[in-house]
Amino acid sequence: MDGYYASYAPVLAIVVAGVGLVASIFAANRLLAPRRQSPEKLLTYESGVDPIGEGWAQIHLRYYVFAYLYVIFAVDAVFLFPWATVFAGLGWTVVGEMAVFIGFIAVGLLYAWRKGVLTWT
């Protein structure tokens, strides 16, 4: 428990405490709340009318494209964060390198922009 991982141990403790809190909340709810179920009550809510079909409707492809774009920028962040912390003292070379890298990413964004992916139609 010493060295590098020592600073992570309290996180584990707080996770355990959080699970405990949620478990006690659920237990309290189980004890306090009434349970009188009827078929109508268990129906999916659709603003008062009987639900038609399944709730798992088809999803527009657009959301999927945003997920792709996110992956690009998440990778971007993975490189940017360590770069930013060790930046001081490495001089102009790293500025140039990162500018080129961000330039590439930006071209990707520009391409998506020109293709009209970012416009919600």
- Least distance from C-beta 116 to other proteins, angstroms? 12
75 is an interface residue for other proteins by CB under 8 A: no
Structure tokens at 111: 């391409």
- Answer for which of 49, 50, 85, 114 binds other proteins (CB under 8 A) is 85
- Answer for which of 50, 89, 114, 116 binds other proteins (CB under 8 A) is 89
108 is an interface residue for other proteins by CB under 8 A: no
Say which residues have a Cβ less than 8 Å from residue 62's Cβ, sequence separation at least 6.
117, 120
- Give 112: exposed, middle or buried? Use CB within 10 Å, 0-12, 13-18, 19+: middle
Say which residues have a Cβ less than 8 Å from residue 55's Cβ, sequence separation at least 6.
44
- Answer for which of 104, 107, 111, 113 binds other proteins (CB under 8 A) is 113
- Least distance from C-beta 82 to other proteins, angstroms? 8
Contact status, residue 69 vs residue 109, Cβ threshold 8 Å: yes
104 is an interface residue for other proteins by CB under 8 A: no
| Contacting other proteins within 50-69 (CB under 8 A) | 51, 54-57, 59, 63, 66-67, 69
- Least distance from C-beta 61 to other proteins, angstroms? 12
Contact status, residue 118 vs residue 112, Cβ threshold 8 Å: yes
